[in-house]
Structure 1
């Protein structure tokens, strides 16, 4: 008897465990677990004790294991996202193992694939309940995927979910709290913004999920910056101000301080830390600068819609944008940061508290405390960013100067002097430390003596130390960026500065090393406001009362007030001199300037000229032969002056001008010219001889409605990368053949009279995008197969196109043919085989093959014939 009891003891214990969990006495529940299958990935038995996954996948194996979830798992891993996908699901009928729970707890994200029968699985529901528990406090970010099921069905537990819970209510009569917990978990997850696969391609959704998680992980990685000294205490203080534990109220917090004190950095770090606690979030940068642009507030409102609501709204004016935002955000818990605000109307147009749902938070950074007061913010809602504490300032300086937390013995006293001089201002500490890095003690001492000679407590003097130490041409680069090129693409600026013999590659490296500029993720030059103001002040001080003798003159949305009044004196009164090297006259509204003489006649050293929204009473006819950049919107003459010798020109931009013929045949060679923009020149009849511009890289002729003739030499521009002739409605023909080996983008969209596409001669493998939509082209030459790198071709609205050469099927790089809106007349002559590499969509693969031997007209209803192979392989 005792032996029998020993043999039965494991079964009795197992039955007891299952009974306590509500499984043993309910056959239907156990039966459900027997049907539950699992995906292939990291087996739960092999999960290490210490876990650190990026993503945990929750799903019902029988529904999606071999389809969507498997593709999602591989898509995430292709992005380098460490993903846990349970394969074994342990022994059927047993509770979830502690190691599987740890996988959830040690993951940063959970993606829950809610399928039709997800709620029928008690395993899935237990898993989901633990996921929701881990959501508290922002420990785990959850993304639901509604796999062919409505979110409302999940949220309200209707349909199949209702049927499943009817069974659970019956089977778990003694564990009503458990069933209630499952219901709450489903409702909570269904309320989170996620993805709905209804009427969408799985590959697109998978790519969106992978990109979203990848971006968040990248942001978190970049936020772990060792140089953010003193940030922890500031973030803690901000969290107190934000009072995130109060989930019902809406709160606005202001971050106030002068430029360079670290307002934006603090706002950015707080945003990164708390953003996962909100339904939607948006960081709006450079509000002050953006709002000065035409329709700047409307543009930022559109960005809010795109980021917070994932939609594009047609906003005509700021008032309409306010109404739409108020309507759409009132039930959403959102986080909005408005960076660098300087006017109350910016706040009212972008993030008024009265629009936002309960628990929302708005963070505003500004230099103007009175704007926060005008918002009605009390003292306990305004955080004044103070200078770094003693010890923090020294640590930050030493990190930049020595890449250590402390100074070497020989530098300790000098380091102490520099830290004291910087006064705890982060930007000053960074700039000074970066400048002094690698210099010896004597150089440190001399540099400090120069500082000591001017004891004025003005931050400009602190920053100017680094400028004074720059070499001659590097100073010129700095001043050009400060006055003209902040926010511009660095590659483009380098080409201009190279032609000025400023050696920008080494020069910009020097500026980067000294923290005087940065290059952002869009490859744009970025200079801090204080540094830019310092550079502009240096130019202004050259001749404070005689602007015609300064090296650089500018009026634009970024110009400081005292730099906005020079144009009457210099241009109208003709006081310009040979000292002037650059003029950027960019007005937000049309303005007329009366001229008694040609104001540019004396400016023989002018390198850079940009004019926008200016009408001169008489058009200047003299341009310096030193010009590298000539950009004149709505240029009033029919051609460039015959006396102009543009041998140094790098960029020529004259959009919306009255040009009919760009230059005369006697015009000199322009070997440095790389970019020409004549877009929307509605009077341009023909293009010039392109042999004069052999190194041209970008040619923009879009919208030249009367352009009927293109010089044959266009086909010989071996360095041309972009050729845009879209909407040239009078263009009837192109050269018989082209050989543009560097061309990547070729746009003929909307050339409604163009009937023939040129023969491809030689190597044009660089071309990846070809836009022929809306043309009158009847056929494509067989030589199009020479475009071996072609990825995309748009043939929509080509109503005269009756045949595609089957040679197109041998183009293995081709992924998309956009061909809606025309009748496809198949060719008989070529092979019926469609290459696997081109990945013709299933619905059209047979159609295309049949078309090679059929003579029937066939309406092509699909807009995309070729799908991207990569998405099918996820």
Structure 2
């Protein structure tokens, strides 16, 4: 009988940030059903092998689940739920189940055991499960939300893959298999810190799980890419925390781009990779190439999970993994990047099964929830703030970084302050958000920076071939390559109808850079405010090369009817 974990394959699986766990296992069961048989035998083998287990049979039972029991669930790394035919006849057990699935959203491993009961009956609440819930609907008719929570919990856990014990199974072998999975999860405790308030994570986990397919024995690489601040690292940490224990070794290397900027940084990344997988052992050789050979020699026989976070050059992958052709069967490699070009390089140069996954912006509902969680510490806004919340969501355009930074800053502030902040953000970008978004811009050469600023200031929404023609007519060489570089760096995207688009916050970053550039030079290169055009052109306060003028006021257009918004070279 093969056990298939459902942590990744079910919608609703989410990730965690590391907590200090008091227990390895929380064992949930209906005492009268299995305490003196299966459950006690399972508890015995776990305790005998030094797996700390909380078994709730010593706590007094009442109508409501106790605070002590809730704390025990929260402080457990794994919850095992033993479903017997009479499980649902205990409201205590159903409350436990709701709490366990709530903890699952924060990274707790949940392992259901269907003991002589069909999982489909748990899921659909048929048979004795249905009878029990029907009685509760009558008993709690003034509190139907409670019953609905129980139904939803049974439906969710019934869809999780777990162990199904039937009468013809040898019980000892069944318990031994459960112990082996628990032991494996305990021995691999590698976890990475992850932020709270994970919103919109379910769909990502579901899709990425299909690409990873950790039951498959081939070697797979998944590249997660998208805009800066879109949540690539957060999603990857969620996946890592969910599946790391399924591998013989795992390593999460953060900030590869930044840490690879020096030889010492590369050495430290190599050291971390080696040490995390081999349990604290150190590399005792010097030189990047020699260290790669040692890493390959020591790890090529292990089924491992590797994450390289924030990669922007293929050489960074080579410095850590060599040619990517030495991994053991079942190994999974996840790379996050904002560089679109890296996708094709990895696909061609790494000889393994390859997938890529683009992270998209949050939708309006998800943006609303994430913003409110940080601004109000709850999912819905205070009534008087609703319109302002909607305006901030419109401003951030689904970018998680901006939603989190701005909403956290607004927490506890009054409406007047919110209105003032919104007005300021529309004029001046948040400096922290600006810094993150600007990393890709800083990696451009001067020509590419000029083209990006021209597109941000004047050409957003133009067809790509029109932009090429406009820039080329300004005595540029063919700008096609440089536009592709902007696409590679996720600064601009090409729509299905071949228009150049920019996320509003990245465009705002470009406008701010252009404005600062003009102030620094004390001469205008890009006239972004229609009021400036007459003054600059008549007062000769433009630079030697004015690159463009925006004319967007009906009054200005009437006054300057022979002019239009244009890109030109001042020759």
Question: Taking structure 1 as the reference length, what is the TM-score of the superposition?
Answer: 0.31
- 1 or 2 for the larger relative contact order (CA 8 Å, sep ≥6)? 2
Largest Rg, 1 or 2: 1
Q: Which has the larger share of helix?
A: 2
